[in-house]
Structure 1
Amino acid sequence: MKKRFIYSFILLAGLSLAACGGKGKTTESSTTAKSTEKTSQTTTATSKTTTKSSTSQSSTKSSSSETKTSESQSTVKSEKNTPAKQADTVLNQLKNDFSNDQLPQAILTSQTAVYLTAATTGAVDQGNFRILYYAEDHGIEVNDPAVNDLQPIASFEKKTYDSNEAAASAVNQIIDNGGSQINLGYGITGYQQGAAGSSFLSWQEGNWSLVVRASNIGGEVAEPLAKEAVAYLETAMLPAPQNVGQISLTASISDSYQNNSVVWQKGTTVYTIQHFDALQALKMAVSTNQ
């Protein structure tokens, strides 16, 4: 009897242990399944994130490439119309329009900051014409109506007369050797005298007569500009007058292009250059020899 009871107890204990072991395995299996599922979800999420990141990087690279292309196109477009190229275009067009004459090639005081343009008077006439030059902050076509509202910086004019005498008279050459003498350097003597609130310093160089006007009211002095002009003409060659030439410069600074003039005769023709800058007027005249 005692043996049966002991066997029954052992049997029941074994069954209980078996039941507990089965539950442990089931839980372990369930936990593994859930862990696998989570790993799978994490892998999928990571894959999506990687795809999005790759797409974003691709878009960024594409955008960067488009920006660089746009900048490159803008640079090329800008280089096509630089002030220097604009000036060359204008001067070449005028040279073709007035092919019988040597037009000035130096007009701007600086060709790096402004754009040159021009307007011609009336139809192209090889005997009589006038060119007005403009310096602006943007390119403008030659003879564009927009220049009508702008201020010229210089002009070049050709006028034909009936005789050499009429042309010489139109030059209005002034020779004045009166007043006090001033050494202008390079063996050249100038003569200075005053009249009506101004002083005039005159001298001769070949067939050219030159004069610098200074305002006494503004305390201006003619001598510095006169010496500067003499020094420049020692290294540069003006067109040769046939027979007379007159250069009139102003010591004062003005925006008016008529402030300084270079006028010379060539047979029955008279050429006139005007520029707001005194020395640039001389350089403009010299450049007709180029």
Structure 2
Amino acid sequence: MKKQPLWMTIPVTTAVLLALAGCGGPNSNTESSENSSSPTTTVGELTQTGSGGADFTNENETGTKENTGTVGSVETSGSQANANATGQLGVVDVIKQVRNQLKMEDAALPTSFTLAKDTYLGAAIPSNTSDAFIVNFYATTESVAINDQSLTASDSKVPVLASYEVKTYKDPDQSDIFPETDLKDIPKDMAVDLGHGIKGMSEGAAGSQYLTWKEGRWTLQIRSVSEDKMNNPGIAKKMVEYLESHTLPVPKDKGYIIVEYPSGGKSVHVTISWQDGNTIHQLKTDQVPLEALDMAVSAKS
């Protein structure tokens, strides 16, 4: 890693300390903790080794993905830190402009994103009504306007960071989004200790392995291909540890997280869904699980 100048080292250290100061775990009887008043990119503890899915716990993989940007009002190096000074859109500006364009009142949006150095947050709104919307977020090499053609064109090659959808249902009890899972009596040979008094259930079927556990009103599951021999317990333990100090939105009434590793285990798909009355929020991303959790944790109106 390059040795950073002293003027960059001090605020990055401060940013890491702030990132570690999250509070509250996912408890069905507690309200979501308040995040920083401004949308931010993340640094420090959310950095994962390598890229893609398997690197989440694979000790044989090396390399670190460095993330720079802003945490609260603390500035660090990178394009996002200087966005306002150069007249380009920073994360705060992008979220504000997206919210101003949405027709749904008091719309919740994720406000924290992990961005590599010299990348910007872009956004497009492919669906926008008073009772539903979809916002796609992108990692761009330059600051662009909301719904810029470079993002929306059919042949666009700009990588999607995450897709966030909010939809109102007459009957929000969608079994395809919130499948029923009974974890009350886990057989001893299927029980996995995930730490902090949480037990998961490990099972295999049709060439796949599953690890499922509950935290408050949330059900979480990791799926992978059996022959890949993914370390599902190791991944789950990191997620459990993260959620001990970061609070997911409190579902009213259900929340479900699926972490899926396709064959080979080198990529990952994460879907985070939660119900709030007749409204269902759903975040989809191919970022590593902790970065996906961070986006969901940051969602607010």
Alignment of 1:20-39 (within 5 A): none
Cα deviation, residue 79, structure 1: 4.5
Which residue of 220, 228, 235 maps to 1:225? 235
Cα deviation, residue 289, structure 1: 4.1
Contact 2:124 2:137 in 1 (8 A): yes
Cross-structure match for 2:132:
128
Q: Which runs of 5+ in 2 are unaligned?
A: 1-81
Contact 2:122 2:144 in 1 (8 A): yes
* Structure 1 stretches of at least 4 aligned residues deviating more than 6 Å after TM superposition: none
Cross-structure match for 1:50:
none
Q: Rate the CA distance shift 1:112–1:159 in 2: closer, same or farther, 3 A.
A: same
Mapped partners of 1:172, 1:248: distance in 2: 10
Which residue of 277, 285, 289 maps to 2:296? 285
Cα deviation, residue 288, structure 1: 1.2
Deviations 1:115-145 (A, max 9, x none): 11011124x3231110111102122211012
Deviations 1:53-108 (A, max 9, x none): xxxxxxxxxxxxxxxxxxxxxxx9994156xx53222111112223522211013x
Cα deviation, residue 111, structure 1: 5.6
TM-score, structure 1 length as denominator? 0.65
Cross-structure match for 1:116:
121
Letter in structure 2 aligned against 1:222:
N
Contact 2:110 2:296 in 1 (8 A): yes
Contact 2:84 2:90 in 1 (8 A): no
Q: Secondary structure at the match of 2:109?
A: coil
Deviations 1:18-59 (A, max 9, x none): xxxxxxxxxxxxxxxxxxxxxxxxxxxxxxxxxxxxxxxxxx
Q: Which runs of 5+ in 1 are unaligned?
A: 1-75
Letter in structure 2 aligned against 1:116:
L
Mapped partners of 1:231, 1:191: distance in 2: 17
Question: Does 2:196 correspond to 1:186?
Answer: yes
Pairwise CA RMSD of aligned residues?
2.4
Contact 1:171 1:244 in 2 (8 A): no
Question: 1 or 2 for the larger relative contact order (CA 8 Å, sep ≥6)?
Answer: 2
Cα deviation, residue 171, structure 1: 2.9
Cross-structure match for 1:268:
278
Letter in structure 2 aligned against 1:213:
R
Contact 2:83 2:90 in 1 (8 A): no
Mapped partners of 2:182, 2:236: distance in 1: 15
Q: Secondary structure at the match of 1:171?
A: coil
- Equivalent pairs: percent with the same residue? 31
Q: Secondary structure at the match of 1:285?
A: helix
Contact 2:211 2:233 in 1 (8 A): yes
Structure ranking higher in helix proportion: 1
Question: Does 2:162 correspond to 1:162?
Answer: no
Mapped partners of 1:204, 1:143: distance in 2: 38
Alignment of 1:170-249 (within 5 A): 171-177=177-183, 180-249=190-259
Letter in structure 2 aligned against 1:113:
D
Letter in structure 2 aligned against 1:205:
E
Mapped partners of 2:175, 2:119: distance in 1: 37
Q: Rate the CA distance shift 1:289–1:235 in 2: closer, same or farther, 3 A.
A: farther
Mapped partners of 2:257, 2:83: distance in 1: 42
Mapped partners of 1:79, 1:159: distance in 2: 36
Q: Secondary structure at the match of 1:263?
A: strand
Contact 2:111 2:299 in 1 (8 A): yes
Mapped partners of 1:97, 1:170: distance in 2: 30
Q: Secondary structure at the match of 2:179?
A: coil
Q: Rate the CA distance shift 1:176–1:212 in 2: closer, same or farther, 3 A.
A: farther
Letter in structure 2 aligned against 1:169:
S
Mapped partners of 1:161, 1:202: distance in 2: 27
